[in-house]
Amino acid sequence: MNETRKLVAILAADVVGYSRLAGADEDRTLARFRALRSDLIDPTFAVHRGRVVKRMGDGFLVEFRSVVDAVRCAIELQNAMVERNAGVPEDRRIVFRIGIHLGDVVEESDGDLMGDGVNIAARLEGIAKPGAICLSEDAYRQVRARLDLAITDLGHTQLKNIIEPVRIYSVEVGVPAQAKSAPPPKPAAPEKPAPPPVPPRLSIAVLAFNNMSGDAEQEYFSDGISEDIITDLSKLSNLHVVARNSSFVYKKAAVSIPEVAKALGVRYVLEGSVRKAGNRVRVTAQLIDSTDGGHVWASRFDRELTDIFAIQDELTKEIVSALKCKLTMGELGRLAPRRSVNVEAYELFLRGREQALTATRSGTIGARRLLERAIAIDPNYAAAHAVIAMSHMLDYANGFSADPEQSLRIGRDMAEQAVRMDEEEPLAHLALCVAYMWSKELDKAQAEVARSLALSPNSADGLRMTAHIKIFAGDPASALEDLDVYMQRDPHYPDMALQLVADARFALGQYEQAVEAIERRLARNPQSETAYALLASCYGHLGRPEECQKAWQQAVRINPTFSMERRRRVLPFRRPEDFERRVEGLRMGGVEV
């Protein structure tokens, strides 16, 4: 038998109490575990370059080229499971325990691994607490100077069938494993959304509908229905609709409707629930006027699952009628019954869209797998093509893929295909806008985002993209105006919006205001290398070299591969001097780039 000895990082994991879970409900437990493998586990291994050596029922053994990759993978997986288990009864949660060791192994001809290296990883997994990660001293030595980890030293432990005691470290789960970094800047005061003091008369927030199916795995379905209603209402030009990002902040929270309405700057709030059982679905909804707490309208739809699109169409029209919205002829057409979509494809689309919203490497991989299954069932599903296109563009912009240029080409092709499939799909035009922007065709990008906004005037994503394009096109003052409107549509806007504000202020030479925006972003997300790089350039222009160098060092510590040369090549500035001003600021602060 041919065999090879080598030194590798080994990750061993299994499900805590799998036999108990399977004994209580074997079919459901098996279905959930298979879904996790497809949507989360396998994509996460792939992103971190892990090779699955073997699967053992509810467990798996994975080989990594480095301990850093193995630990990052383990933490991402455990953090994702915390999110997946939110709202699931404790006795039905799928929880992993993980052990990681760096050791010498024997690789057999069939790819299997044998030896103490494997045995120690398996023993570490066996003593790890539910939801935790245990590292051997050999593994910890490889990452302690490279990653910021919250570690508990468990001391030397005698592991079963291992001759010498092994020193073990437990990793705190709940934060991503980042490159070693200096302390972040002093956090700014927590931000408070600043909605308009008087909400527009025709303004609405759609809260996340409650999942009443008795199965937390169906959460994607109730969330998807809510998001589709937001999408439909966003097509109306005289109705102010709050973005999903903000209205979903109140999901599962015991909230006062008047307080939510005040925080989001709206008069009306829509809340409801979804119960999906077998081939039946029940959707209930009620529209509330926050000025007096009165119910303007309420209804219940109890239909076959195949009627889900008809339910959404009827629900949207009844809301429009209750609000007494005046519609243009074009808007009437856009609210007409939608193209029939296979229900199975629709459910895959909802799951894939949810994965794509994470904007992570593993999220894009998982999203594509689901969405590709959706278009295999329904080849003309334009929205599914658009989301796949967006995922490829994210890979390009963030350097997630091994061949970013190919990712951009694929994304552009799929976006163009989505528009050809359905000229009236706002998401398709938005995807094509993103593709044109990263292809440095800014005029075409502006035309596509304008078309997307004509079809969906309330689209927060459309407004944000308009501002993004204007920054690259050399019109930062106008971009700031668009960002003001965008932040009204999405009062709980993501931290990336503050990066765009900082980019616009920097382009205007307003370096102090740019620093303020960046510090607000870093208070939310202290692990953004792009924020630190721009902060360093601002400090250079402000004549503060010491702070410039510290900020730059922070950017490089977070992402050792961070490169201004790649950013010069990728960022689609129309005028090269707009990018070179960033490099100039770094050099003025004493940074060699």
- Supply the pLDDT for residue 329: 59
The neighbouring-strand residues paired with 303 are 281
Q: What's the CA gap between 299 and 34, in Å, rounded? A: 36
List the pLDDT tens digit at each of the 593 positions of the chain.
456 777 889 999 999 888 888 888 888 888 888 888 887 888 888 888 889 998 887 889 999 888 888 998 898 888 888 878 877 788 888 999 999 998 888 888 777 888 888 889 988 998 888 888 999 988 888 887 667 677 888 888 888 878 778 889 988 775 444 444 444 444 444 444 444 445 556 899 999 998 887 777 788 888 988 998 998 888 888 888 999 889 988 887 777 888 889 889 999 999 999 998 888 889 999 999 888 778 888 888 888 888 888 888 888 888 888 887 766 656 666 565 556 778 899 999 999 998 888 888 888 898 999 999 999 999 999 999 999 999 999 999 988 888 999 999 999 999 999 999 999 999 999 999 999 999 999 999 999 999 999 999 989 999 999 999 999 999 999 999 999 999 988 998 989 999 999 999 999 999 999 999 999 999 888 888 999 999 999 999 999 999 999 999 999 998 888 999 999 999 999 999 999 999 999 999 999 98
Give first-to-last CA distance, the chain, whole Å.
52
Where b means 16+ CB within 10 Å and e means fewer, 128-140 reads beebbbbbbebbb
DSSP-based three-state secondary structure for 430: helix
Which residue, among 481, 463, 391, has the nearest Cα to 242 in the 3D structure? 463
The neighbouring-strand residues paired with 282 are 275, 302
- Supply the pLDDT for residue 572: 97
Tokens found for residue 162: 């291992």
∠174-126-45 over CA atoms, to 5°? 55
Backbone angles phi, psi at 455, to 5 degrees: -80, -25
Question: Quick one: which H or E segment has residue 504?
Answer: helix 496-507
- Supply the pLDDT for residue 402: 86
Angle, helices 496-507 vs 460-473, to 10°: value is 30
Q: Among all chains, which residue has been given the structure tokens 């707009």?
A: 578
DSSP-based three-state secondary structure for 423: coil
- Supply the pLDDT for residue 186: 43
Which residue, among 69, 84, 82, 73, has the nearest Cα to 33 in the 3D structure? 84
- Supply the pLDDT for residue 576: 94
Listed in sequence order, the residues at least 6 apart from 110 whose beta carbon sits closer than 8 Å to its beta carbon are none
- Supply the pLDDT for residue 504: 97
∠155-161-163 over CA atoms, to 5°? 60
- Supply the pLDDT for residue 187: 45
- Supply the pLDDT for residue 93: 87
The CA-based dihedral angle spanning residues 126, 132, 134, 139, taken in that order and rounded to the nearest 10 degrees: 140
- Supply the pLDDT for residue 419: 97
∠243-365-498 over CA atoms, to 5°? 35
Query: Computed from CA positions of residues 357, 359, 363, 369, in that sequence, does the dihedral angle turn out positive or negative?
Result: positive
**Exposed / middle / buried, residue 577 (Cβ in 10 Å: 0-12, 13-18, 19+):** exposed
Structural domains of the chain sorted by starting position, each given as residue range(s) with its CATH number in brackets: 3-179 (3.30.70.1230), 203-334 (3.40.50.10610), 493-593 (1.25.40.10)
Q: Among all chains, which residue has been given the structure tokens 């065709």?
A: 441
Tokens found for residue 174: 């709940």
- Alpha-carbon distance values, 472 to 293, 432, 477, 493 (Å): 45, 17, 12, 21
Write the DSSP string, 109-169.
TTS-EESHHHHHHHHHHHHSPTT-EEEEHHHHHHHTTTEE--EEEEEEE--TT-SS-EEEE
